[in-house]
Structure 1
Amino acid sequence: MKKRILLITALAGLVWGCAGPSETKQEEQNQQNLDLPVVSDVQKRNVIFILTDDHRFDYMGFTGKVPWLKTPNMDKLAEEGAYMENAFVTTSLCSPSRASILTGQYSHEHTIVDNVAPNPGNLVFFPQYLQKAGYQTGFFGKWHMGDEEDHPRPGFNHWESFKGQGEYYAPNLNINGERVQYDDSVYITDLLTEHALEWLDNRDEEKPFFMYLSHKAVHAHFKPAKRHEGMYAGKTIEKPDTYYQTEDDEYKELKWPEWVKDQRHSWHGVDYMYHGDGEFDELVQKYCETLMGVDESVGAVMEWLKKNGLDESTLVIYMGDNGFSWGEHGLIDKRHFYEESVKVPMLIRCPEIFEGGEPIDRMVQNVDVAPTVLEVAGLEKPDYMPGKSMVQLLKGDESGWRERIYYEYFWEYDFPMTPTVFGVRTDEYKYIRYHGIWDQNELYNIQDDPSEMYNLMGQEEYQDVSKQLATDLVNWLDETGGLQIPLKKTVKKPFGDYKHPDQY
């Protein structure tokens, strides 16, 4: 009876309020020191984590999605390591996803729910545990949580960063508190890679290291390195099945939400993408050209490891902070719970831990990064982290692994076109529920309908499936303190005064 009342109450409308039970749990953790139980028989490994911005999961050469796209270094990383075929974020937006990576928590727990929500000041980032355990830690690149200034980055002995989205050319870096302005011949992807490798060269070889290389690329507006400009000129991609405008009667048959149909006419849609800044194929070309600098960065890091005899023993993780839509459902950008938005590229390599060469299809999430790194550092993860170490999957052990993943996105003042979203995905079905609007929720059989074209909500034969997934979703929110939407600081602006996309 209790669960039934909970389900009815929660689905009728979640309430706005404070962060909920998880905040108390986190505060208790913060009162303790940063010592974690040590696993005595585990070697403390070096770790390199490479994060990119808005890199879609299948935009890598080896996937074959874009026949003309070449990413030799990512391809090699996948061949020698593991390609996590079903890697997801908990919120498909820069700041919330990055906060989930660093805290190992869901967005409603850490409360950095959008790109301007402030850091509540009570968060612990997992590199802080590494520091306390004797690691030397370095951060290079985009931080972008809570629209913060380029303040010191907690958990890092050495840090180089910039405010917000930064610039592709003529970047301004804050290096350990000293701001350095570079001229317009300097490209940010190359600069961050160069500085990261210099830090590795000058490290204390007696201590293990953790390096976090966080690229601005491939965020809009896409600007490739000069050497890559025009390399894909004239290339086109096949439009997705759900790209084209359909007649009203066809839309009714597909049963897509009204907000999705309307979105195609916004700057997050194919009819007015980025305020008309370029044609569709031209934007895809620039996106792929910009990705080339990232691929070369991956190659430079892997070459450094090999040159220094650390390529077998170092754990390397490559990941995107969220996915990106290129026309699916008439949409551009991210934020929604469709596959291309929530799924991210993830490549992992460490020959001394596991034999690579085979993709892994079990569902993993960004909240699994922190537990994974802590395990290879010989530390037990804190109880408040909901994720799991991926090491067991890398070693071929699938026992006890999750059967579903959960998703949340909170409405943004600056981008009101996308509503608050909650969702759950299994290997077979995806259930999407919208909050705060009177619109159509969604259910897809993603095995039979990977394009998520045919919404099954309302069909009698799927009522039990939708009810079960709705119950699972609410139970997850209840158990993790998510039935109250975290309040956030909202920046008031005149109507229509939108920030430039480079700021996101």
Structure 2
Amino acid sequence: MKIIWFLPVLLIYLIPHGSFSQENASKENLPNIIFIMSDDHGYQAISAYNDELIQTPNIDRIADEGAIFNNSFVTNSICAPSRAVMLTGKHSFINGKVDNVQPFNWDQQMFPKLLQENGYQTALVGKIHLDGTPQGFDYSAVLPGQGRYYNPNFIIDDKKQQIHGHVTEITTQLALDWLKDREQDKPFLLLYHQKAPHREWLPMPKHFQAYSDKEFPLPETLFDDYKGRGTAAKTAEMNILEDMNWAGDSKIPPEVMEQLGIEERTDWGKNAYKSNLGRMDSTQRATWDKTYDKMIEDFIAEYPNMNKKELMQWRYQRYMQDYLASIAGVDEGVGDILNFLKENNLEENTIVVYTSDQGFYLGEHGWFDKRFMYEPSLKTPLLIRYPKEIMPNTTVDKMVQNIDYAPTLLDYAGVDIPGDIQGKSMKPLLENNNAEWRDEIYYTYYEYPSIHMVKRHYGIRTPRYKLIHFYYDINEWELYDLKEDPREMKNLYNDPQYADLIKELKARLQDLRDKYGDSKVKDEKFLEDYLEAVEN
């Protein structure tokens, strides 16, 4: 009897790290998971959050039939590092991917590997923007690097091939093909990642005309002069009028730029224009020209008489037309995936997540792109549907981050969450919005000097306040009261009334850095070697 009693106890201790919990041991109880990530999709361009710019009925279905997160944030607002955080559940300075340049170590622990080890069939389709061969997936069909919009190359299980069509439709079809062909008796994880709406915003042909005719409301801060902010906001190169490429972004052909005397600092935009349109076949190009030739003709006539304000408004509208048209295709793809689940009786037991790799500026502060800890790039959309457990129209207001994705999905799959994962499972919040949770988040950004020239910085955000430290070649702090100043127009750091609050927030910030293990940034210290190099 003693031996019989001893064996199960021994087996409990011998269960490997990341094993199934007992309550979810049977396969029929394990949820399928579809994790949808688009690239640079600002929450402002999802009608579940804001219906002024676009209607996204299919993405909205996830919120209507599940949960919407009103305060979802990233830890580092830039593409490749955000994806590394998503996979690992760890901050950039822990997983090693701090910017778009550093290599990513696929050998490290990631949640798809843990699911795969515990019986899940796994697939990665679309954009991942991390060099090297993806690990943790039974099947992968990924875009090399940033990928192309028209007739893109895909690396499918280590073999490169070009596929004819638009990348958004192709990515959706590859995902659907895998869902149809997978092993039917296993739970599955599908990472379904769209390139759109990443720069330079080339929509599907069927959306050209509908969006080119639209005019969109101007953001209140489109003509921001950055008074009341520090050096970082004033020196960033993200202004729609000054820093967007005329050819690549606004779709003005290089020969028209030359005709009108429009000059730029580099040839990036001209090269992008030629390369992007050069991938189109004759039919695709004819459809493009039918819409865009009229826009170019009108611009040639109007440009000589336009002042800077009018030019900014024109460029903003061009930006929104292509950006939002690109999102229309993404939304249709989400609808195709949701319809497949419903038609194949997979809806009830499949978790569907929709998010973006970070937020994006849609003209706020006159900007495009991301990177800053200011709200439009820090905040990201997050919608989760799981009919079996998440009630329709659930709203979550607590502050979550992309370090929380991995532990949440492991938790729902019944896989033990490794102790070195830095995020927390959001499952308690989806059951009760008042569940005990964090009341502060930590942010870092490293990619400077580089494109867009956003200074390196780190900071803390609480439900009401945000404290940011810009460092490296400057030493400046910014404090914002998000309740009184939600658009972050007035830096309060030098206001004596906030001295005690600043002291408290700095202490909390240091506690966060200690907690997460960020020792690479030295407070209050200029990097002398860097300054010496600049001077020389």
- TM-score normalised per structure 2: 0.79
Q: Cα offset for 1:379?
A: 0.8
Q: Which residue of 2 aligns with 1:334?
A: 370
Q: Which residue of 1 aligns with 2:152?
A: 171
- Distance in 2 separating the partners of 1:209 and 1:160: 16
Q: Which residue of 1 aligns with 2:298?
A: none
Structure 1 residues 245 and 317 mapped into 2: Cα distance closer, same or farther (>3 Å)?
A: closer
1:195-274 alignment, distance < 5 Å: 195-246=174-225, 254-263=227-236, 266=237, 268-274=238-244
Q: Cα offset for 1:235?
A: 2.7
What is the number of residues matched between the two proteins? Answer: 439
1:155 maps to a residue whose letter is G
1:142 maps to a residue whose letter is K
Structure 1 residues 204 and 121 mapped into 2: Cα distance closer, same or farther (>3 Å)?
A: closer
1:383 maps to a residue whose letter is G
Mean Cα deviation higher: 326-335 or 70-79: 326-335
1:141 maps to a residue whose letter is G
2:37 alignment partner, one of 51, 54, 70: 51
Q: For the Cα contact (< 8 Å) 2:71–2:379, is it kept in 1?
A: yes
- Distance in 2 separating the partners of 1:288 and 1:359: 25
1:41 maps to a residue whose letter is E
Q: Which residue of 2 aligns with 1:28?
A: none
Structure 1 residues 273 and 47 mapped into 2: Cα distance closer, same or farther (>3 Å)?
A: same
Query: What do residues 9-66 of structure 1 show as CA deviations (whole Å, max 9, x unaligned)?
Result: xxxxxxxxxxxxxxxxxxxxxxx99741422113311100000000001211233352
- Distance in 2 separating the partners of 1:33 and 1:154: 23
Q: For the Cα contact (< 8 Å) 1:142–1:162, is it kept in 2?
A: yes
- Distance in 1 separating the partners of 2:449 and 2:468: 21
- Distance in 2 separating the partners of 1:339 and 1:365: 13
* Residues 1:41 and 2:11 aligned together: no
Structure 1 residues 280 and 381 mapped into 2: Cα distance closer, same or farther (>3 Å)?
A: same
Three-state SS of the structure 2 residue aligned to 1:113 is coil
Q: For the Cα contact (< 8 Å) 2:398–2:433, is it kept in 1?
A: no
Q: For the Cα contact (< 8 Å) 2:396–2:433, is it kept in 1?
A: no
Q: For the Cα contact (< 8 Å) 1:230–1:289, is it kept in 2?
A: no
Query: What do residues 47-99 of structure 1 show as CA deviations (whole Å, max 9, x unaligned)?
Result: 000000000012112333525x1111012221111111111110000011000
- Distance in 1 separating the partners of 2:155 and 2:16: 27
- Distance in 1 separating the partners of 2:95 and 2:42: 25
- Distance in 2 separating the partners of 1:451 and 1:414: 26
1:5-20 alignment, distance < 5 Å: none
Could you tell me which runs of 5 or more consecutive residues in structure 1 were left unpaired when the two chains were aligned: 1-31, 487-504
1:66-85 alignment, distance < 5 Å: 66-67=52-53, 69-85=54-70
Please state which structure has a larger fraction of its residues in helix: 2
- Distance in 2 separating the partners of 1:384 and 1:452: 34
Q: Cα offset for 1:110?
A: 0.8
Q: Cα offset for 1:437?
A: 3.1
Q: Cα offset for 1:435?
A: 1.0
Q: Cα offset for 1:307?
A: 0.5
Query: What do residues 119-158 of structure 1 show as CA deviations (whole Å, max 9, x unaligned)?
Result: 246521210001110110010011112xx2xx43100000
1:191 maps to a residue whose letter is I
Q: Which residue of 2 aligns with 1:438?
A: 474
1:17-36 alignment, distance < 5 Å: 35-36=17-18
Structure 1 residues 416 and 340 mapped into 2: Cα distance closer, same or farther (>3 Å)?
A: closer
- Distance in 2 separating the partners of 1:377 and 1:358: 21
2:117 alignment partner, one of 129, 132, 139: 132
- Distance in 1 separating the partners of 2:95 and 2:417: 17
2:18 maps to a residue whose letter is L
1:457 alignment partner, one of 474, 478, 493: 493
2:235 maps to a residue whose letter is D
Q: Cα offset for 1:113?
A: 0.7
- Distance in 2 separating the partners of 1:426 and 1:221: 34
- Distance in 1 separating the partners of 2:521 and 2:114: 29
- Distance in 2 separating the partners of 1:280 and 1:34: 54
Q: Which residue of 1 aligns with 2:441?
A: 405
Could you tell me which runs of 5 or more consecutive residues in structure 2 were left unpaired when the two chains were aligned: 1-13, 251-314, 523-536
Q: Which residue of 1 aligns with 2:173?
A: 194
- Distance in 2 separating the partners of 1:399 and 1:208: 29
Structure 1 residues 448 and 327 mapped into 2: Cα distance closer, same or farther (>3 Å)?
A: same
Q: Which residue of 2 aligns with 1:141?
A: 126
- Distance in 2 separating the partners of 1:243 and 1:280: 9
1:86 maps to a residue whose letter is N
Q: Cα offset for 1:416?
A: 6.3
2:161 maps to a residue whose letter is V
Q: Which residue of 1 aligns with 2:84?
A: 99
2:390 maps to a residue whose letter is F
1:111 alignment partner, one of 93, 96, 116: 96
1:369 alignment partner, one of 391, 405, 421: 405
Q: For the Cα contact (< 8 Å) 1:35–1:129, is it kept in 2?
A: no
2:42 maps to a residue whose letter is R
- Distance in 2 separating the partners of 1:459 and 1:142: 45
- Distance in 2 separating the partners of 1:295 and 1:188: 14
1:391 alignment partner, one of 405, 427, 430: 427
1:287 maps to a residue whose letter is Y
Three-state SS of the structure 2 residue aligned to 1:231 is helix
- Distance in 2 separating the partners of 1:351 and 1:129: 24
Three-state SS of the structure 2 residue aligned to 1:51 is strand
- Distance in 1 separating the partners of 2:365 and 2:496: 25
Q: Cα offset for 1:327?
A: 2.5
Q: Cα offset for 1:481?
A: 1.9
* Pair member with larger Rg: 2
- Distance in 2 separating the partners of 1:272 and 1:178: 41
Q: For the Cα contact (< 8 Å) 1:256–1:440, is it kept in 2?
A: no
Structure 1 residues 256 and 413 mapped into 2: Cα distance closer, same or farther (>3 Å)?
A: closer
- Distance in 2 separating the partners of 1:100 and 1:49: 14
Q: Which residue of 2 aligns with 1:61?
A: 47
Query: What do residues 362-386 of structure 1 show as CA deviations (whole Å, max 9, x unaligned)?
Result: 1111111101110111112111111
Q: Cα offset for 1:419?
A: 1.1
- Distance in 1 separating the partners of 2:224 and 2:173: 45
- Distance in 1 separating the partners of 2:88 and 2:224: 41
Query: What do residues 164-201 of structure 1 show as CA deviations (whole Å, max 9, x unaligned)?
Result: 10001111111112211123xx0111111111111111
Three-state SS of the structure 2 residue aligned to 1:359 is strand
- Distance in 2 separating the partners of 1:163 and 1:36: 31
Mean Cα deviation higher: 371-380 or 438-447: 438-447
Q: Cα offset for 1:353?
A: 0.9
Q: Which residue of 2 aligns with 1:11?
A: none
Q: For the Cα contact (< 8 Å) 1:73–1:296, is it kept in 2?
A: yes
2:145 maps to a residue whose letter is G
